[in-house]
Chain A
């Protein structure tokens, strides 16, 4: 079945460090891929998405590239801030249905 596996946390970084959170997927066909972010006490918010191979999603300095050859969608940011502290979820959805599959989430803490 369709599934997402993401890097286990927690991840702790200093401000201005480089961030990578790994995400790989298993799916038949060509799913759309997403990164959601959940700040403390809030619901999940869409951070970025990519709908086809080689697409790059980007938002707020975060980027992820849809790599079909490695079935990956790793999240990166060149310089993290304290305000980026949150839980990040990788997700996929098949383009012909509404069944979204989420990874387990990766908690990021950025220290000043």
Chain B
């Protein structure tokens, strides 16, 4: 079992550029979550999907952030335009989708916006 796969593992970009983070959930999992982790704010849920449908995006910081899940095995988180305050580690996680189940995390993408 490959676990949750994220790419890239590290991204360095300049302010104003578009950034796309990618996630492949564990096969058979129906729920997918995007989190952001910073020293100041800890772990924040940005958005989650059930069966490819966004259920709760109240954690998305602003319109510069968007997330899609075109199929059960792929999701993207896009930031356009990026700003230095977006620098953080972004995690993707997946779960079976049955209520109360544990989440399995990917290794994260460390984003630095200069």
Contacts and interface: CB of A to CB of B under 8 A. Distances in A.
Interface in A22-51: 31-32, 34, 36, 42-46, 49, 51
Interface residues of B, number: 24
A71 B102 CA distance: 20
Q: Say whether chain B's binding surface is mostly helix, strand, loop, or mixed.
A: strand
A42 B99 contact: no
Contacts, number: 55
Interface in A53-97: 89, 93-97
Interface in B92-114: 93, 95, 97, 99-108
Given A94-B99, A98-B97, A99-B56, A43 B107 contact: yes
15 contacts: A34-B102, A36-B105, A42-B107, A42-B108, A43-B105, A43-B106, A43-B107, A43-B108, A44-B93, A89-B43, A93-B102, A95-B100, A96-B99, A98-B48, A102-B42
Interface of A: 31-32, 34, 36, 42-46, 49, 51, 89, 93-100, 102, 104-105
